């Protein structure tokens, strides 16, 4: 089954998410350049800190703590360098460190050298430049996993909707390259079943068809930041994860060659595009 990942810096929510069946808790430190490139969009902009890493780590027992650091950078007037940031999150207990918004091989090399085997490493492939360098990145190696970020990739490519890389074959081409190299991968986020601009069941079927390993539970799956009642958070997460696992159990009965979900997915994205153009 897919490894489910959920973003939060609240220890009590992390504990509830783990109990509900979430495999990885993401602490999101990324802020450098994010507001500029996502200006005006209703996207997730976290305000997590390195201190949150340790707090979340202590709140879970088996779930892995993944930290999205900032893109590779030198010391800034108001923030320390990538070297310090990566050292600090690993010291705080990060099991997996994620590099976002990279564009060059040198950034990947620097990232893996800074981590230096002290934690697992995930590349967040979300720029057209990174996609163009896929073969070189896979040849370089030194990292453990890759996640395809649909939102920023769509913005970088000038697409109208974040699901276009999934509908136009980009994700499929990348997933084939990853599978051939034996690199675990995932893509995008997923809402609760039956919800989302693109219904979650079509996205989950694509994960199975393409051989994906993990997916992020999106903000629309459970927006704990807008819930003060932890019992409500627990109810939403537990019910939502259970529905996903039941749906996955049905998917696992079939070979990935059984699914033709991409046809319906393409149709829905085309309809959304047509509606936006009118």
If pLDDT is split at 50, 70 and 90, which confidence band does 269 have?
confident
If pLDDT is split at 50, 70 and 90, which confidence band does 260 have?
confident
Q: Which residue has the higher pLDDT, 42 or 78?
A: 78
Q: In sequence order, what are the residues at sequence separation of 6 or more whose Cβ sits closer than 8 angstroms to the Cβ of residue 252?
A: 1, 208
CB 168: neighbour CB atoms within 10 A?
14
- pTM for the model: 0.92
Report the residue count for the chain.
278
Per-residue pLDDT, 45: 54
DSSP for 100-167, written as a single string: -S--SHHHHHHHHHHHTTSSEEEEEE-SHHHHHTHHHHHHH----EEEE-HHHHHHHHT-SSTTHHHH
Structure tokens at 164: 């276009």
133 in the Ramachandran plot: left (φ > 0), alpha (ψ -120 to 50) or beta?
Answer: alpha
> Nearest-CA neighbor of 165 among 182, 180, 147?
147
Map out the domains of the chain with their CATH numbers. 3-277 (3.20.20.60)
pLDDT tens track for 94-134? 999 999 999 999 999 999 999 999 999 999 999 999 999 99
pLDDT tens track for 226-242? 888 899 999 999 999 99
Above 70 in pLDDT, residue 44? no
Bridging pattern class, strands 64-68 and 214-217: unpaired
Percent of the chain whose pLDDT exceeds 90: 76
Are 67 and 29 in contact, with CB atoms under 8 Å apart?
Answer: yes
> Nearest-CA neighbor of 124 among 140, 100, 142?
100
Per-residue pLDDT, 278: 44
Above 60 in pLDDT, residue 277? no
Cα distance between residue 157 and residue 66, in whole Å: 27
DSSP for 189-207, written as a single string: EE-STT-TTTTHHHHHHHH
If pLDDT is split at 50, 70 and 90, which confidence band does 197 have?
confident
pLDDT tens track for 136-162? 999 999 999 999 999 999 999 999 888
Above 80 in pLDDT, residue 76? yes
């Amino acid at each position: 089954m897919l490894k489910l990942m959920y973003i939060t810096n609240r220890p009590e929510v992390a504990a509830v998410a783990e109990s509900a069946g979430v495999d990885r808790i993401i602490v999101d430190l990324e802020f450098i350049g994010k507001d500029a490139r996502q200006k005006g969009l209703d996207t997730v902009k976290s305000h997590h800190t390195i201190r949150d890493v340790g707090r979340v780590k202590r709140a879970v027992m088996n779930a892995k703590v993944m930290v999205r650091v900032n893109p590779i950078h030198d010391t800034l007037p108001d923030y320390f360098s990538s070297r310090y940031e990566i050292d600090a999150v690993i010291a705080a207990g990060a099991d997996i460190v994620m590099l976002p918004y990279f564009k060059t091989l040198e950034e990947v090399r620097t990232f893996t050298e800074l981590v230096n085997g002290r934690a697992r490493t995930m590349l967040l492939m979300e720029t057209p430049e990174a996609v163009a360098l896929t073969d070189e990145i896979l040849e370089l190696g030194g990292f453990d996993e890759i996640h395809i970020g649909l939102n920023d990739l769509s913005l970088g490519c000038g697409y109208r909707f974040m699901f276009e890389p999934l509908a136009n074959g980009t994700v499929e081409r990348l997933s084939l390259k990853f599978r051939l190299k034996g690199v675990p991968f995932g893509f995008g986020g997923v809402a609760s079943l039956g919800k989302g601009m693109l219904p979650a069941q079509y996205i989950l079927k694509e994960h199975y068809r393409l051989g994906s390993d993990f997916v992020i539970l999106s903000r629309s799956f459970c927006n704990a930041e807008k819930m003060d009642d932890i019992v409500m958070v627990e109810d939403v997460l537990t019910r939502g994860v259970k529905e996903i696992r039941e749906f996955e159990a049905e998917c696992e009965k079939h070979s990935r060659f059984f699914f033709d979900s991409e046809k319906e997915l393409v149709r829905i994205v085309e309809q959304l595009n047509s509606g936006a153009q009118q």
